[in-house]
Structure 1
């Protein structure tokens, strides 16, 4: 392990663990990327996955929002993509401008698993070492300013892309696999779970201080199918990553917080609350007070402003952000177990200054609440 600079701001790590914080930490999904002019300038010169595979470029892009929103961000998330795992398994993935990810040769039948994925176990260092290098480089370049986050896509979400060949309105091809080829589906999900576990452990050892599992298409499954084809693998990822890191000789690795984002799976909050994830990230359709009522164990919640609210006038953004914050803080009076975020990622046509308004409002209202609480407790 490299000797990293000391961390100056550990708010998000404390919030994830339920420890006291002087204000609510904030970051957003896709904060390093396409809405930023400085990102688009770099993108003009490079293919998307070339940027992911070049540690210096990936690191630079990761740092762009930290620089732009100096002092307002409480985490950086490494610039990469969830689909680097299918690539490492042997599949071709392209990023088509205006369309998104595209698999020219998707999985059509179970036989395609053997044909396209000859080796079911990835060599994280050998095949995904560029991500690890980017993490280590970025951790040094952050100089302890904020923690660095790593991530993976959840097995079901990765499988959906690999079978559909890209995004979809119905995901009927991927769901057809679940019903027609359940054994092959579980085989593929197991393979992807192993890859996620190994990759997350590698990311932490390379410098990630917190990690998130994105199940972006969880809401495409009904409750029974989620319980069968997604939840067991999400649960296993958290268990195995934590168990593996607990044996590390590096003390920092033992308590790395883990977040799960199962977009649209509002019906599964109680089940997710029973997993070993420290943080449950909510999309914008979920009511924090209802979510909290479904949890029998202490968990930190993350979210959940609708990203499209950032298209509103700045006064409206401030109003909606305050309302969101109040929903999360109501359960304990201080919002101690809340990480402010959006309910999904930034859009390409978002105004970066609208995001600054969101960050500034979170900083303002959470600092005021903490100060008020401290004053009341001192009387």
Structure 2
């Protein structure tokens, strides 16, 4: 049954818009803060849900996805400034006709081995039919949040999804997918844009369902050289930002900030800020905040970027790193156009109390 999209007036009014103001480049009284993978394995209440439900079952069941999305909001009440829908970037390859398992990491039993295998993908993808469960979860979560914080929707970037679809799972060498791009460059570009079109439909659907900010995760961007990033990843990223904005305007949907997290591609920060069409660029921990500010020249907001492993270092180490991060992102002594976050997702063994201390330190040291 197709998802019944709500109207904007159906939703409770938003009480905390710090995230949206920061993403639009405004000065804020303090930095909004959330963390990637904040609904996940580091929370005991999430692990309880997973004891009786398979990973993708949680993604596909709106009641379960809503519950785990709300878990960190409840646990860290008043400390988080955003919620991100519980889902996975690999729902897009699934919608395109590929089988994806979690065993426990991503596993594609039948990956794309040659360009001829692309014929096995669905010729067209009806995102409302294939991914309506995500839209239902977003609408349900937005209602359940009752305006406490904005709700983030997301997708994987085409290059990252393409890498999984060809490699068949995680990889350290990227040998198979790089064989594709170097041996079959035109076929690779065509598939990347085909994935991008599905991402556009998916992101627009998420806004229709109630998402208030969007994020595109290019987790494997750093595996490409600057030349190859420009050839194989950037065009699809620009395609997404350009067409999502066109569609939102054409369908009279809210103008929604979009974040790009191109992990490992700090060499591209200046050019992405100049012309990629994103409101916010996420940063990994391998760049100094002040240097990132210098490179983007105020053209975009920034998000990041503490090393997630600092969360294992104890309260003093966390406080010191947060204080340094806040000082690095400050503009003329004030907090502007910055969303505090980790430089990648929180990892499973982190003590939730240490995550809480991170949020408390951000609130303390980013007030200016």
Contact 2:27 / 2:334 at 8 angstroms: preserved in 1? no
Q: Quick one: which of 202, 205, 209 aligns to 1:206? A: 209
Residue number in structure 2 paired with 1:374: none
1:223-251 per-residue CA deviation (whole Å, 9 max, x = no partner) reads 0000000011111111110111112334x
Q: Please, which moves more after superposition, 331-340 or 349-358?
A: 331-340
Match of residue 375 from structure 1: none
Which secondary structure does the structure 1 equivalent of 2:131 belong to?
A: helix
Q: Does residue 58 in structure 1 map to residue 65 in structure 2? A: yes
- Give the Cα separation in 2 of the matches to 1:273 and 1:21: 21
Query: 1:84 corresponds to which residue?
Result: 91
Runs ≥4 residues deviating over 3 A:
none
Secondary structure at the aligned position of 2:139 is classed as helix
Distance in 2 (alpha carbons) for counterparts of 1:84 and 1:342? 24
Q: Which residue is equivalent to 1:377?
A: none
1:224 equivalent in structure 2: 227
Unmatched 5+ stretches in structure 1: 371-379
Give, in whole Å, the separation in 1 of the partners of 2:337 and 2:145: 25
**Unaligned segments of structure 2, at least 5 residues:** 1-5
3-state SS in 2 of match to 1:230: helix
Q: Look up the SS of the partner of 1:151 in the other structure.
A: strand
| Aligned equivalent of 1:168, options 161, 166, 171 | 171
Which TM-score applies when normalising by structure 2? 0.96
Q: How large is the Cα RMSD of the aligned pairs?
A: 1.0
Instruction: Give distance in 2, aligned partners of 1:357 and 1:110.
Output: 49
Q: What is the aligned residue count?
A: 360
Distance 1:27 1:136, change over 3 A: same
| Cα distance in structure 2, aligned partners of 1:249 and 1:301 | 27
2:20 aligns with: 13
Alignment of 1:242-253 (within 5 A): 242-250=245-253, 253=254
Alignment deviations for residues 282-309 of structure 1 (CA, whole Å, 9 cap, x no partner): 0000112112222245211100000000
- State whether structure 2 residue 151 is matched by structure 1 residue 148: yes
Q: Kindly report which structure 2 residues correspond to 1:1-379, keeping only aligned pairs within 5 A, or say none.
A: 1-2=6-7, 3-97=10-104, 100-114=105-119, 116-119=120-123, 121-250=124-253, 253=254, 255-274=255-274, 275-329=276-330, 331-367=331-367, 370=368
Residue in 1 aligned with 2:3?
none
CA offsets 1:123-161 (integer angstroms, 9 cap, x no match) = 111000000000000000000000000000000000000
Hey, what's the Cα distance between the residues in 2 that align with 1:332 and 1:63? 36
